[in-house]
Structure 1
Amino acid sequence: MKTQTLVLLGATGFVGRYLVPRLAADGHRLILLSRNREQHRALAVLPHVQVRSADVHAREALVGHFRGADAVINLVGILNETHQQSFEQVHVALTRRVIEACQEAGVERLHQMSSLKAGQGLSNYLKSRGEAEAAVKASPLNWTIYQPSVIYGLGDGLISRFHALLRMAPVMPLARPEAQMAPIFAGDVSEAIARCVADGTASSRRTFELYGPQTYTLAQIVRMIRDAAGLRRAVLGLPDLLGRLQARMLGLLPGKPFTLDNFKSLRTASVGKRDGLQELGIVAHRFDALLPILVADAGRQRQLDHMRQQPR
């Protein structure tokens, strides 16, 4: 396997925590672009990993960091908009800027993170992912697009979030309880990207739907998390009218735990039709098998975080 120089955007996020060690294990030289290098210096202990401070929204800066690279991996994405970041800025405008910078820097290969059902449904999140994909496909680059369903793992927005919410209240009112999804382990997503990096020709100009082997409703997943944590909580599905109201109210809270756009995303089933993992020769992890391990690890991580915060 050829050793490559890879520039990663968004690698300090959730998926990046799985992908960076996986790519480093293959011996690739990794350049991670971050707004604040000092906050992520620990990543540099991995072999052949360099963390650089960069404004990824500045095309000139991207060109400088991209020069000499074999490929760029764009993992940048947000689930909720803020006053500082919109879906248009983060998903669409940034992707167009990355494409332009690749062309100017002479980088021909782009790996683009997207979402299952991108461009479908009513949510602005999915619409913006679709627009970004269209820009990538219209470019002259050799691209690969990854469309994962809901991604889970340690520190995710699924198991970790609902585990924390279930611990806080005796009743969990749940919007869109019948929403369908096929959750995929972050390690499987990372393995898919790593294999496409290693075999660039076979995966060039292809889109891979990435989803797990089991399909659940949101209510089933939340109840499974509850049971794995040993909690006694009622999970009550809300009709859409109340679910929409809940989304409007929670969207006003700090951190936006649930928004109206999240509600709209749940109206589109996150279930695929073409098994990208199988196409890449990857045997997917089962959600029900990993769940007890991840719930236990999340509990231990909270204990460690609490201990670190205690005065000495």
Structure 2
Amino acid sequence: MKNILILGGTGFVGAHVCEKLVREGWRVTVLTRRRSNAQHLLPLPSTTVLEVDVHDEAALTRALTGQDAVVNLVAILHGTQESFDKAHVALPQKLARACVAVGIEQVVHISALGADALQPQSAPSMYLRSKGQGEAVLMQAAIGAGADHGKHAGFELTILRPSVIFGADDKFINLFAKLQKIFPVMPLAGADARFQPVWVEDVATAVVRSLARVGASDAKTPRIIEVCGPDVFTLKELVQLSAQLSGVCEGLGRPVIALPRWLGQIQAAMMELAPGQPLMSRDNLDSMQIDNVATGKLPGLSSLGITPSALRPIAQDYLEQNQPSYGLTGIRLRSHH
């Protein structure tokens, strides 16, 4: 049984990754700032939860000792330049040094579609620029660049670049459905931005197959895989689809009003002022200046033997479950009419 360390394992994608790894026979260790964040992972067999600050390099190095592989899922969608750099650049730097120090064999890093390790500064947003820089750091470490690390030089590296990820617990399709139940109209910034949504289960399978080196021709060459679903949607189409599948206005949804970019920037700036995580930030809008779809220049899920799942039937299933008309309650409601 191999040992694997998961960074960011308590989140939406992380829970699915942990479950699949346990099923594949891995012994999983999840690092988290607060053990209370990992309550949903505790019932999993052969899973250990450790309270560790992953940004503490000494603590991270200690946690890596005795592990065979690492999956890094740590990411933020909103923040300042400083917070993006901390999560997406400084952490991969610390992780790379720690992996080399203790002789980790494999690293799987979850990045983002639109990131560019070769020209990170060419990306339109702080988010994507920092993601590209993080990729570059890990790629240099993987090939043992810039230092004599002796027998521990480098590690096998797979970088996965997903489009937007959907699933039963997502904060994407579910969010649009909820908003349409509240607001009479949907003013939408970035309405024409294009996405290629990918199912969380396919992303988790991609992590497992990457660790098994499925489709890898040369173990020592870092590889980048674009993780996308089979269909491309505009943001407006995704909002309309969420309404249709969740039965808002009998499936018709609310009117969606596409905002010009300048007005979208104002809307996003206002959202940033609200307490908690903003629904959309100006940096999110900057990211949407480039299409969030596969370039076709890199391997996709098929290189891992995965046929990507379509959004519509899966989203329909979990959005219908949130409706009053679903299940036994729905049967009772209908019986009274």
TM-score past 0.5 threshold = yes
Q: In structure 2, how many angstroms separate the alpha carbons of the residues matched to 1:142 and 1:164?
A: 42
Any residues of structure 2 matched to 1:1-312 within 5 Å, and which?
A: 3-81=1-79, 86-119=83-116, 120-139=122-141, 140=144, 141-199=155-213, 202=216, 204=219, 205-232=222-249, 233-254=254-275, 255-272=277-294, 273=296, 274-299=298-323
Q: 3-state SS of the aligned residue for 1:107?
A: coil
Q: In structure 2, how many angstroms separate the alpha carbons of the residues matched to 1:221 and 1:38?
A: 33
Structure 1 position 55, deviation (Å):
0.6
Task: Give 1:226's aligned amino acid.
Answer: A
1:44-83 Cα offsets, whole Å, 9 max, x none, are 2111111110010000001111001101110000000169
Q: 3-state SS of the aligned residue for 1:207?
A: strand
Q: In structure 1, how many angstroms separate the alpha carbons of the residues matched to 2:212 and 2:322?
A: 32
Q: In structure 2, how many angstroms separate the alpha carbons of the residues matched to 1:130 and 1:123?
A: 11
Q: Calculate percent identity across the aligned residue pairs.
A: 36
1:64-122 Cα offsets, whole Å, 9 max, x none, are 11001101110000000169x71000000001011111111221321111001103531
Task: Give 2:85's aligned amino acid.
Answer: E
Are the counterparts in 1 of residues 246 and 322 from structure 2 also a CA contact under 8 Å?
no
Moved over 6 A (4+): none
Q: What is the TM-score of this pair, normalised by structure 2?
A: 0.84
Q: In structure 2, how many angstroms separate the alpha carbons of the residues matched to 1:41 and 1:231?
A: 33
Structure 1 position 231, deviation (Å):
1.1
Number of equivalences = 297
Q: 3-state SS of the aligned residue for 2:216?
A: helix
Are the counterparts in 2 of residues 182 and 213 from structure 1 also a CA contact under 8 Å?
yes
Task: Give 2:264's aligned amino acid.
Answer: G
Classify 1:200/1:214 alpha carbon distance in 2 versus 1 (closer, same or farther; 3 Å). closer
Q: In structure 2, how many angstroms separate the alpha carbons of the residues matched to 1:165 and 1:181?
A: 20
Structure 2 unaligned residues grouped into runs of 5+: 117-121, 145-154, 325-337
Classify 1:53/1:198 alpha carbon distance in 2 versus 1 (closer, same or farther; 3 Å). same
Structure 1 position 214, deviation (Å):
0.3
Are the counterparts in 1 of residues 10 and 37 from structure 2 also a CA contact under 8 Å?
no
Task: Give 2:156's aligned amino acid.
Answer: N
Q: In structure 2, how many angstroms separate the alpha carbons of the residues matched to 1:216 and 1:41?
A: 35
Structure 1 position 289, deviation (Å):
1.6
Structure 1 unaligned residues grouped into runs of 5+: 301-312
Q: 3-state SS of the aligned residue for 2:42?
A: helix
2:149 matched residue in structure 1: none
Q: 3-state SS of the aligned residue for 1:283?
A: coil
